[in-house]
């Protein structure tokens, strides 16, 4: 069983300034719940009860969120507001939370390598909270655990994107195993439309085998001096050890204002429909 999930949350969130000047972008709410809680709930539903965060300066609010707030909870005890904390209380009661800091922003690959001290020598999940996923019917990470159980290698979630947007993603190509699974042969980080091997983009869900850490240690920095996870995964892919999975569900890019608004509208409409039934 995969029991650990790593959350790289050290980024600055510059696309949401000034809202993120003094608070983590991961704490921005979709309705009444912060992005990071959606991700933690997805990990928990997949059986990953050990939640590990690679944080940075100004991220203290994340730690506080996954902790007991005695004054607040005492104040609302016995009122109608108390049930509002049921979801976060379940996470606090059922999960363990650990933290380490990424002192320099050197890319996603470096953030994951920084998390090695929290993960150890075992296969683990990775969730990028910016990508808010709604699985159908199961969460995306829960779906990916089943894929890992079948193929026993690193798994990445992918979806089709417009050709003009491929320069925002890691793009993959490979051998089609069936309609939802591709054994990856090539991965390119943010290619131009002319260079892209396909329009299948990696989104913020991964299951990684522990050899990824040694590969990352030996991966030279790429564009902007950043260590790219894509480059390390390409090394695994050369040995046939990475499978891409077309997940069932929807994904919202909440790192962009447009995606954040779309997610807010989606959850608002879903909540309204639930209240009417």
Position 208 pLDDT exceeds 90: yes
Whole-number pLDDT of residue 220:
86
Per residue in 58-117, pLDDT tens? Answer: 889 999 999 988 888 888 888 888 888 889 999 999 999 999 999 888 889 999 999 999
Position 222 pLDDT exceeds 90: no
**Cα separations in angstroms, 160 against 141, 173, 199:** 18, 12, 6
Q: Which residues pair with 30 in a beta bridge?
A: 33
Per residue in 7-43, pLDDT tens? Answer: 999 988 889 999 999 899 999 999 999 999 999 999 9
**Cα separations in angstroms, 73 against 32, 88, 192:** 17, 12, 51
Whole-number pLDDT of residue 113:
96
Whole-number pLDDT of residue 117:
96
pTM: 0.94
Mean pLDDT of 232-237: 94
Position 226 pLDDT exceeds 90: no
């Amino acid at each position: 069983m995969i029991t650990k999930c790593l959350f790289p949350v050290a980024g600055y969130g510059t696309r949401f300034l000034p809202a993120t000047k003094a608070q983590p972008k991961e704490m921005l709410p979709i309705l009444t719940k912060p992005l990071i809680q959606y991700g933690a709930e997805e990990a928990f539903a997949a059986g990953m009860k050990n939640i590990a965060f690679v944080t940075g300066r100004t991220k203290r609010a994340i730690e506080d969120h996954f902790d007991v707030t005695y004054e607040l909870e005492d104040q609302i005890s016995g009122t109608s507001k108390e049930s509002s904390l049921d979801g976060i209380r379940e996470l606090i009661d059922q999960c363990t939370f650990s933290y380490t800091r990424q002192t320099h922003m050197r890319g996603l690959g470096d953030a994951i390598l920084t998390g090695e001290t929290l993960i150890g020598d075992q296969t683990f999940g990775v969730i990028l909270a910016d990508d808010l996923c709604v699985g159908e019917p199961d969460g995306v990470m829960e779906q990916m655990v089943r894929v890992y159980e079948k193929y026993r290698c690193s798994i990445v979630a992918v979806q089709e994107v417009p050709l003009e947007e491929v320069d925002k993603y890691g793009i993959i190509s490979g051998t089609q195993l069936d309609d939802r699974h591709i054994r990856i042969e090539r991965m390119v980080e943010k290619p131009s439309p002319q260079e892209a091997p396909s329009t299948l983009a990696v989104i913020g869900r991964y299951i990684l085998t522990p050899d990824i850490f040694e590969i990352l240690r030996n991966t030279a920095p790429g564009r902007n001096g950043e260590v790219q996870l894509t480059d390390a995964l390409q090394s695994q892919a050369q040995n046939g050890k990475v499978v891409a999975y077309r997940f069932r569900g929807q994904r919202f890019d909440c790192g962009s204002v447009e995606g954040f608004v779309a997610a807010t509208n989606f959850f608002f409409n879903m909540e309204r429909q639930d209240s009417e039934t």
